[in-house]
């Protein structure tokens, strides 16, 4: 037994010695003590990975942002070009509506000659308006091309027609009528009263009882409006802006007014008024057809109402105070302009003829517009 114990002890010592020589633990116990250097290495590896991915993301994001910026700039540039093109096209369309074309003059002369020919092809015919032109499908400004010029004419019985000429356009300049006119009747309106309404503003309830104070304000405005004096009209309107001027009617001896209806809006009271002008030089008994206006009146519920805007019938619902003012440059505000007065000789007692010099609408103390 003693021998066995010695052998067992020797074997254990040998094993322990072997473990020590091999770097093992003296007591055969595993180490679990953390190593700071290994933790630092792992942290550095993680940081490196994070930095690498951040660099990758940045390298991808920068080109994308540059591309997006370029695309936005290109889109903005394209949008600007489209807006500019649309504005230019709109301006060109507006010009085409207001400026004559090469064939208008030639067609107008041909129409006048046709109406004046004997026997008269359209009894009592007169030109009412030029209604524009239409280019042929193969129109080319670099070669001889054709256009159709359209006019509205009326005969002695009041019937309307569309008269059209075909005109050749020379690319070197000039035009010549080559065919026409055609004559197409304008559709006549039915006479069953379909356009009549009980109110001057369709869909709007109107009051036919206009207050006396408002009627008096309308009368004061009408006298100023037909006085030929811009300062008097501005005073009647109550415009305090010294740069504003108003254009009155000149050559009127007296005026009569009648306020026929009114309705309230956010801007004020809108009044429909009839204005009868008695021109200077005519017989006092000469009656004329009345003019009609929509007038905007402020302070209509007080003892001192005032007309501050006027316009065509139907325009009163959108009228704004002092909308009829025109701007006069400061260096021209004191420039006097004399109004043209009609001859003192009586004329047109029957309403059949006009004076030699027609009355003009020119401010007396402002620059002519």
CA distance 362 to 249: 7
- Could you give the residue ranges of the DSSP H alpha helices within 155-211? none
Residue 361's CB is within 10 A of a number of other CB atoms, namely 17
Given a contact cutoff of 8 angstroms between Cβ atoms, the answer to whether 144 and 198 are in contact is: no
Token pair in block for residue 271:
């009044």
B/e letters for 64-99, b = 16+ CB within 10 Å, e = fewer, are eeeeeeeeeeeeeeeeeeeeeeeeeeeeeeeeeeee
Segments of the chain scoring below 70 in pLDDT: 1-44, 57-58, 60-100, 329-369
Whether the ω angle into residue 181 lies within 30 degrees of 0, i.e. cis, is yes
Given this model, what pLDDT does residue 52 score?
A: 73
Token pair in block for residue 8:
């067992």
Given this model, what pLDDT does residue 348 score?
A: 52
Given this model, what pLDDT does residue 179 score?
A: 96
The burial class, CB within 10 Å (0-12 / 13-18 / 19+), for 341 is middle
Q: Treating both helix axes as pointing N-terminal to C-terminal, what angle do 230-237 and 212-225 enclose, rounded to 10 degrees?
A: 160
Q: Hunting for tokens 């090469």 — which residue is that?
A: 102
DSSP-based three-state secondary structure for 65: helix
The conformational region for residue 230 under phi > 0 = left, psi -120 to 50 = alpha, else beta, is alpha
pTM of the model: 0.58
Contacts of residue 235, Cβ cutoff 8 Å, sequence gap at least 6: 224
DSSP-based three-state secondary structure for 5: helix
Size of the chain, expressed as the number of residues it contains:
369
Q: In angstroms, what CA-CA distances link 289 with 12, 37, 256?
A: 141, 111, 11
Domain ranges of the chain: 34-99, 104-185, 212-332
Token pair in block for residue 106:
């030639």
- The β-bridge relationship of strands 145-154 and 126-135 is antiparallel
Given this model, what pLDDT does residue 330 score?
A: 61
CA distance 239 to 308: 8
Token pair in block for residue 333:
């505000």
Token pair in block for residue 73:
């700039």
Q: Hunting for tokens 């006048």 — which residue is that?
A: 112
Contacts of residue 331, Cβ cutoff 8 Å, sequence gap at least 6: none
Whether the ω angle into residue 119 lies within 30 degrees of 0, i.e. cis, is yes
Q: From start to end of 64-107, where are the E strands?
A: none
Given this model, what pLDDT does residue 368 score?
A: 37
């Amino acid at each position: 037994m003693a021998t066995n114990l010695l052998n067992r002890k020797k074997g254990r010592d040998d094993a322990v010695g072997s473990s020590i020589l091999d770097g093992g633990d003296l007591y055969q116990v595993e180490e679990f003590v953390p190593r700071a250097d290994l933790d630092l290495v792992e942290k550095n590896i993680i940081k490196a990975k994070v930095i690498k991915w951040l660099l990758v993301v940045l390298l991808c994001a920068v080109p994308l942002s540059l591309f997006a910026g370029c695309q936005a700039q290109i889109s903005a540039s394209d949008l600007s070009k489209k807006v500019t093109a649309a504005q230019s096209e709109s301006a060109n369309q507006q010009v085409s509506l207001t400026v004559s074309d090469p064939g208008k003059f030639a067609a107008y002369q041909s129409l006048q000659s046709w109406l004046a020919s004997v026997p008269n092809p359209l009894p009592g015919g007169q030109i009412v308006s030029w209604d524009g032109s239409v280019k042929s499908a193969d129109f080319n400004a670099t070669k001889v091309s054709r256009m159709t010029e359209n006019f509205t004419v009326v005969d002695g019985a009041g019937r309307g027609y569309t008269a059209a000429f075909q005109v050749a356009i020379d690319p070197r300049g000039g035009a010549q009528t080559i065919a026409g006119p055609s004559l197409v009747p304008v559709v006549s309106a039915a006479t069953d009263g379909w356009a009549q309404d009980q109110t001057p503003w369709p869909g709007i309830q109107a009051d036919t009882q206009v207050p006396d104070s408002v009627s008096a304000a309308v009368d004061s405005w009408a006298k100023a409006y037909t006085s030929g004096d811009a300062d008097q009209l501005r005073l009647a309107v109550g415009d305090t802006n010294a740069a504003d001027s108003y254009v009155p009617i000149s050559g009127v001896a007296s005026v009569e007014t009648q306020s026929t209806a009114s309705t309230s809006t956010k801007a004020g009271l809108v009044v429909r008024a009839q204005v009868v002008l008695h021109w200077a030089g005519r017989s006092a008994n000469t009656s004329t057809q009345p003019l009609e206006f929509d007038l905007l009146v402020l302070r209509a519920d007080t003892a001192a109402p005032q007309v501050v805007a006027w316009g065509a019938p139907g325009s009163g619902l959108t009228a704004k105070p002092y909308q009829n003012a025109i701007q006069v440059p400061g260096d021209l505000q004191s420039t006097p302009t004399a109004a043209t007065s009609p001859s003192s000789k009586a004329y047109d007692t029957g309403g059949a003829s006009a004076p030699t010099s027609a009355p003009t609408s020119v401010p007396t103390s402002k620059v002519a517009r």
